[in-house]
Each structure stands twice: as structure tokens, then as C-alpha cells.
Structure 1
Amino acid sequence: MDTIRSMQFFLQKRGRGYVASILCNMRTLTKDDIGTAVEFHKRITDEIGDADFFAEDNTLVDSIKGAGAVVGIFAEDRLIALRSISYTDEFVDDAIEDLKLEDTERTHVAVMDFCVTDSEYRGNNLQFVSYIFMENILYPYRYHLHTTVSPKNVFSLNNILKCGFFTVGFKQKYGGHARFVLYKNLRYPTCVETKGHKEVLLRNYAYHPTVLDDGYVGYKVKHKAHGMAMLYGRPKQEEEAAPEE
């Protein structure tokens, strides 16, 4: 990406016994940022410690070099959040298969690779903020947006759904890890009927494919008495055009 895009805003930093407003800068990363980005990503994923959350390979370096795009948020002269998207053939091939797209659409596909945030700045909705910034970069050129999320990663799953994605698949990926497949079409936005919805506990791995195969898509995560559940509704069909008189 040749043009560096950026914006400034204030975030809350949470420390031991205090909360402070800190000026931040969000911008697209360049090759000069590769070392910082790789080190930051490793530190955060090591802190999280659950290999199932980040089981898939990422293409961070390739994305910074141009086979995608990476946005970083900086505060107090250090990187505090990172979002990466990929256009690499391997990731796009996977998305086309998951979303059942025609191969002619591959140049319009973007894969949401990951988003990680420093613990001191969590709670600022940075997954959502960085996604909106990235969407502005992608559209109208890349409008088929694909991502996968572990059913154990409720926080990220909830954030992705709030960004307008819908669950369209559930399968074993990346060496046997359960994943929801999520999709957002920026060109033809989806509208889902919420009346008469179905609710499936996230841990009920066997039933999600059944509901999806029946034509439902997931649109929300909800807390139930027995655990977190995915809410499924049917996509509304476009109304047929009235016949000409």
C-alpha cells in the first residue's frame, strides 16, 4: 500500500490504580514497521497463551509488504494494537472455498487475519475502531470480507458480529481447530430476519452445521443460563421487482 492513511484520537489507558486519556495515532504500516509489528504480535499472543485462539498461520509480513494491509495504533511512542488483512493466494483460496465464491471474484476478496491489543488499552473497542478504519481502505475494491473465529474466543466473535459479519459456516480448520466462518459483503449487504430465530450454544459443535445447512446465518452472541449461544436468523430475500404495466 503506497499511501499511508492515518487518524488521531484519544483512548483510555488503564494502569494500576489509575485511568488516563492518551493521544493515539492509527495508521497503515510500512516495511519499516515489520520488526516492531512481528515482536508485538508475538508478545500479545504469548500473553494470551491459548494456542486454539491463534492456531492458523498469519501473513503479517507479507501483508505489510503489499499482499494485504496492516493497521497499527500507536500511543506513547509504542505500538498498542495491530490489525492485519491478507490478499495472499493461500488465504484467498481458503475464503473462496468457505464462501462458495466464483474464482473470478478473487481480486475482490480480503481475509481478516487477526487483531491484537495491548492489555493496558483493552476496553476501548479497538477491534471495532480498527475494523472500520480498515473497511474504509478496502471498499470499493475489496468487498468480500472473510474471517474465522474460534467458538472459544467469545470476545472476538462478538466484536466481529457487531462489525456486520454473519456466521455462514462452522468447520474444522487449521489442523483440526473448530472455527466459525464469517462473511460480510460490502457490495450487497445482508439483511437477516430476527423473528423466529434459533439459538445454539457455542459449545454445541455438532448442531451449528445443521442450522447453517438449513439456510440460517448467525447474527449475534447471547448469554444464556447454560452458556453463550449463537443466534441464527434467515437472510431476507430481495423483493421481486414489480412487473411493468
Structure 2
Amino acid sequence: MELILHKVCGHPAQQAVTLRRCTPDEAPAVYALQNEVHAAMPHPEWFVTDTLEHITGYIADSLCIGVWQGSRLGAYLTFYYCGQSPHNYAAFLGVPQAEWPHWANADSAVVHPDWRGNGLQRRMLEAALPLLPESITHLGATVSPANPYSLSNALACGFTIRARREMYGGFDRYLLAKEL
């Protein structure tokens, strides 16, 4: 799907980009963007990074939507179809285990600072929804309570705050859910 970026580096622009499903051979680009954005964050505790192995698994076995300009990846959103895994966010929300296979984790949303302000998180989620398996009826997500940008984006996309707890080795997080 073709999109137009209306802002680049905070300035008005008209740049064409492509929003599409990422392929396993693009996992290194996803990993590199994650690390570049994380290294530049003023509050790196707001985002917990993934390994290249996990990212490759999300792309191969679940779903990753990316925004590309030629060979440059500028944003991505990963999903993890967790099933009965204890990493399923449904497990932390008290959802009965029999229902976990109907949940997917909306795991990571990353947008390069140059491309922020274009509604890319929302647009990636909208593009991903028709690609999710029909069996998925709910999405779970986590957001640092101190990160107003990601929290605002998640709430604008229809997620609701369902709980607050320590996760990922002691980081404070909201647990969010979205019914599809």
C-alpha cells in the first residue's frame, strides 16, 4: 500500500513510502531500526528491545508490518501469535488459558524520528488487522506509563488500559487490550 509522508524531520513534505508485510530476510533491517531508535531515545527504559532471533521469529511465524522508502525501513509493527505461551499478554490479564490462542501480542511499534507525526502506528495497525488469522479476536500490548506518545497512539487505536504491573525484569508497564 502506498502512503505519503506529510512530515519528514518535522517539516512539511510529500514523500511516497510503501506499507507492507516484512519478509524474514528483512529481519536484520527491523533489528537495525529498533537499535538505532532505542539508542537515540532520551528514556531508553520506555522500550525493551528484542533480539534478532525473536524479531526473525515474529516475521516468520507471526506478523511484521513495515513502512519502506526503497530499501530504507522507517517504521515497523510486530505481532506475536503466542498461543499457550506464558508470554501471551492475556496470561497477565487473567484471561482463561483456553482463550489465549485467540489473543496476539502487539509487540513492538517503532517509528524513526524523521518519520514521526505521520500517524504511522495507526496506519500499520489498520494494515495489519486484515492479515491477522481469523482466530485472533483480541490484541494485547504493553506501554510504559511514562511514555505519553506510545500510550496516546495505543489509546487512539482503540486499546484500553487493563492493568499496571512490573514486566520485563522490573519495568513499570500498562497492559492494554483491544477487542477485534
TM-score after normalising by structure 2: 0.89
Cα distance, 1:92 vs. partner?
5.5
8 A Cα contact 2:65 2:124, kept in partner: yes
Aligned CA distance change for structure 1 residues 91 and 134 (closer, same or farther; 3 Å) = farther
Aligned CA distance change for structure 1 residues 32 and 56 (closer, same or farther; 3 Å) = closer
Aligned CA distance change for structure 1 residues 134 and 25 (closer, same or farther; 3 Å) = same
Aligned CA distance change for structure 1 residues 24 and 177 (closer, same or farther; 3 Å) = same
Structure 1: gaps of 5 or more residues:
1-6, 187-245
Higher-Rg structure is 1
8 A Cα contact 1:92 1:111, kept in partner: no
Q: Which of 12, 20, 23 matches 1:27?
A: 20
Structure with greater contact order relative to length (CA < 8 Å, sep ≥ 6): 2
Residue by residue over 1:104-163, the C-alpha shift from the partner in whole angstroms, topping out at 9 and shown as x without a partner, is: 222211001111111111100111111111122226321121011101111100110111
Distance 1:19 1:76 in 2: 20
Distance 2:84 2:123 in 1: 27
Alignment of 1:128-143 (within 5 A): 128-138=122-132, 140-143=134-137
Answering whether residue 33 of structure 2 is matched by residue 12 of structure 1, we say no
Answering whether residue 98 of structure 2 is matched by residue 104 of structure 1, we say yes
Distance 1:151 1:175 in 2: 16
Answering whether residue 20 of structure 2 is matched by residue 52 of structure 1, we say no
Amino acid at match of 1:35: P
Q: Which has the higher helix share?
A: 2
8 A Cα contact 1:108 1:142, kept in partner: yes
Distance 2:145 2:9 in 1: 30
Distance 2:84 2:97 in 1: 13
8 A Cα contact 1:109 1:144, kept in partner: yes
Distance 1:50 1:10 in 2: 29
Aligned CA distance change for structure 1 residues 125 and 35 (closer, same or farther; 3 Å) = same
Identity percentage of aligned residues: 27
Aligned to 2:56: 61
Distance 1:55 1:118 in 2: 16
How many pairs are equivalent? 178
Aligned to 1:161: 155
The two structures, once aligned, show a CA RMSD in angstroms of 2.1
Residue by residue over 1:177-219, the C-alpha shift from the partner in whole angstroms, topping out at 9 and shown as x without a partner, is: 1111111111xxxxxxxxxxxxxxxxxxxxxxxxxxxxxxxxx
2:44 aligns to what SS in structure 1? Answer: coil
Amino acid at match of 2:31: V
Alignment of 1:51-130 (within 5 A): 51-55=44-48, 57=50, 59-66=54-61, 68-88=62-82, 93-130=87-124
Distance 1:90 1:101 in 2: 11
Cα distance, 1:37 vs. partner?
1.4
